[in-house]
């Protein structure tokens, strides 16, 4: 069956460290993958898109990698700040122009 897996346990890190979040998928062949940020009680906000022919994408302190062999995307936040605390969702090409979302990983950055 098709699955998208993100770590359901919260990730706790210290301010200034690099946070790394994982998105694994099974039985999909996505042409692209997106990452979104969601704050409590709010809708998700788009952060980054990476296509299957791109190994890495960067935007300010954010970096995303996409390994189609491992069927995995890694999302990194460098020099993390308490304001980065949120839930991060990966979403991939589910075919027929639809996005399929993972359940998200909650990141907590302590001062």
* Residues near other proteins (CB under 8 A): 4, 8, 31-32, 34, 41-46, 49, 51, 89, 91, 93-94, 96-104
Measure Cα distances from 82 to 13, 61, 67 in Å. Answer: 10, 14, 29
> Minimum distance between the CB of residue 49 and other proteins, rounded to whole angstroms?
6
Three-state SS at 84: helix
Task: Note whether 67 and 57 are within 8 A (CB).
Answer: no
> Minimum distance between the CB of residue 109 and other proteins, rounded to whole angstroms?
22
Closest to other proteins by CB, 25 or 80: 25
Q: Of 31, 5, 18, which Cα lies nearest the Cα of 109?
A: 18
> Minimum distance between the CB of residue 17 and other proteins, rounded to whole angstroms?
26
Closest to other proteins by CB, 16 or 46: 46
Closest to other proteins by CB, 64 or 80: 64
> Minimum distance between the CB of residue 111 and other proteins, rounded to whole angstroms?
27
* Sign of torsion over alpha carbons 87, 57, 30, 74: negative
């Amino acid at each position: 069956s098709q699955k998208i897996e993100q770590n359901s346990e919260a990730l706790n890190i210290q301010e200034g460290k690099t946070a790394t979040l994982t998105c694994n998928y099974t039985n999909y062949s996505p042409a692209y993958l997106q990452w979104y940020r969601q704050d409590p009680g709010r809708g998700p906000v788009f952060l980054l898109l990476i296509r299957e022919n791109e190994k890495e994408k960067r935007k300010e302190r954010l970096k995303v990698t996409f390994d189609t062999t491992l069927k995995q995307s890694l999302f990194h936040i460098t020099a993390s700040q308490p304001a980065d605390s949120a839930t991060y969702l990966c979403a991939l090409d589910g075919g027929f122009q639809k996005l399929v979302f993972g359940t998200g990983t909650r990141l907590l950055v302590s001062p």
